[in-house]
Amino acid sequence: MKRFSGFLVKEFLHILRDRRTMLILFLIPIFQILIFGYVVKNEVKDAKIGIIDLSHDNVTEEITARLDAAVDFRVVREYQTYEEAEAGFRANEIKAVVVFADNFANDMGKYRKADVQILLDASDPNLANLINSYISVILNKYSAEVNKTGNSVIVSTEPRMWFNENLHSAYMFVPGTMALILMLITALMSSISIAREKETGTMEILLVSPLRPIQIILGKLTPYAVLSIVNVVSILVIGNVVFGVPVHGSWVLLLLVSFLFILLALSLGLLVSTLVKTQQTAMFISILGLMLPTMLLSGFIFPIENMPVILQYLSYIVPAKYFLIIIKSIMLKGLGLSYVINEVLILFGITLGLIALSVYKFKVRLE
């Protein structure tokens, strides 16, 4: 035990003294989450929209006022014709145009149905989709209110968005960033730190010492596990405080599942380190083999349903995919363990397999 604690002290000293490592450990998670939050935003805020109102009655004016009042939109101009609107799109004055048909209020009264057309600038399809659904939400709300009093229905283009009513992108990127950062820190950093000992030759001395392989492995991995927990908590706190991402489910469950994912990433890092001799290859393999799939194939950035079939199959072996499903269920839907037990078991199985494989592969000699 004394041997092991000495090892831990040394590992922490390494981490604390290396500015680069400290930077990767603590600044990058924060930067990453802020970057995803503010810069690579998929969110609609103050989108400029135009109106073509062929009816100009009290209903259309009421709806226009509501659109303008919503934080998401600003009604910047009213156009008389489609041609004018098209010119507006081209000049990049607006992202969308809401068209109210002739006799809008009358139709609503008579047929309990009125036509609203939404024209969108689809050159940015993601944004167009978002705006479309935002507008629909506002229209739906209005019709719901009218429904309470009268009995009208307005065209409903999209169903209501469950669990993410305003389609806040923070809800997507906080769990995704967490998966990415855990992969980065645990797998990348731990594999590099083991490879460094090989490169400098100190691994030779450790192997020749009475330390058992499992002590070397645990000594190398424990600090990163501890630091990763710190990161999980800070990401959740930033997500909650800055971006308002809730944790509806159990915090304990959330942390336990995160810890399972950390173990998985650590065993991946360990496996990488048994395969390589230099820090450079460790970094290369970790980034290409672990981080890119986590980013691209887990459903973090691109929805899995929209991927080509081959990539969809490939996504089944990306652990982050299961992790994302689990933590989204816990955080956003407030579900308990029984709802995500399959995914948890899959992660657990992968972790056990990886640990077994890398302990088996860890060499007690130099060859």
Partner 1 sequence: MAEIEIYNLCKNYGDVKALDNLCLSVEKNGFYGLIGPDGAGKTSLMRIITSLILPDSGEISVGGLDPVKDYKKLRLKLGYMPGKFSLYPDLSVEENLRFFAGVFGTTINENYHLIKSIYSQIEPFKNRRAGKLSGGMKQKLALCCALIHKPEILILDEPTTGVDAVSRREFWDMLNEIRSYGITILVSTPYMEEAVLCDTVSLLFKGKVVESGTPKEITSRYSSTIYSVKTDNIPLALKVLRNIPGLMSVNSFGQNIHLVFKDENHSEQEITNFLTANNILDAELSRIKAGIEDSFIDYILKENKN
Which spans of this chain sit near partner 1 (rule: CB under 8 A)? 2-3, 5-7, 9-10, 13-14, 17-18, 200-202, 204-211, 364-367
Q: Identify which of residues 85 and 217 has a Cβ nearer to partner 1 in the complex.
A: 217
Which of 91/364 has CB closer to partner 1? Answer: 364
Least gap, CB of 203 to partner 1 (angstroms): 9
User: Considering the complex, what minimum distance in angstroms separates the CB of residue 22 from partner 1?
Assistant: 12
Nearer to partner 1, 87 or 366 (CB): 366
What DSSP state is assigned to residue 101?
P
Task: Choose between 206 and 335: whose C-beta lies nearer to partner 1.
Answer: 206
- Amino acid at residue number 340: V
Shortest Å, Cβ 8 to partner 1? 10
Q: How far is the CB of 192 from partner 1 (least distance, A)?
A: 14
How is residue 169 annotated by DSSP?
T
Shortest Å, Cβ 10 to partner 1 = 5
How far apart are alpha carbons 358 and 367 in whole angstroms?
15
Supply the minimum distance, in Å, between the C-beta of residue 274 and partner 1: 16
**Nearest approach, Cβ of residue 229 and partner 1 (Å):** 24
Q: Which is nearer to partner 1, 2 or 90 (CB)?
A: 2
Q: Are 215 and 7 in contact (CB under 8 A)?
A: yes
What is the 8-class DSSP label of residue 329?
I
Q: Distance between alpha carbon 262 and the CA centroid of its chain, in Å? A: 17
C-alpha to C-alpha distance for 235 and 37, rounded to whole angstroms = 12
Name the residue nearer to partner 1 (CB basis): 159 or 201.
201
Q: Which is nearer to partner 1, 164 or 209 (CB)?
A: 209
Q: Give the long-range contacts of residues 276-280, CB within 8 A, separation 24 or more.
A: 276/191, 276/195, 277/195, 277/198, 277/199, 278/195, 278/198, 278/199, 279/192, 279/195, 279/196, 279/199
Nearer to partner 1, 101 or 211 (CB): 211
Give the residue among 319, 267, 222, 183 at the shortest CA–CA distance from 15.
222
Q: Position of tokens 């991946």?
A: 268
Q: How far is the CB of 18 from partner 1 (least distance, A)?
A: 6
The CA distance from 286 to 141, in Å, is 48
110 near 150, Cβ under 8 Å? no
| Shortest distance in whole angstroms from residue 28 CB to partner 1 | 20
Rounded Cα distance between 168 and 177, Å, is 15
Residues 6+ away with beta carbon under 8 Å from 127? 42, 44, 47, 95, 121
Distances (CA, A) of 23 to 26, 189, 194, 294: 6, 12, 19, 21
Return the number of the residue (5 or 151) whose C-beta is nearest partner 1: 5
Euclidean distance between CA atoms 93 and 77, whole angstroms:
9
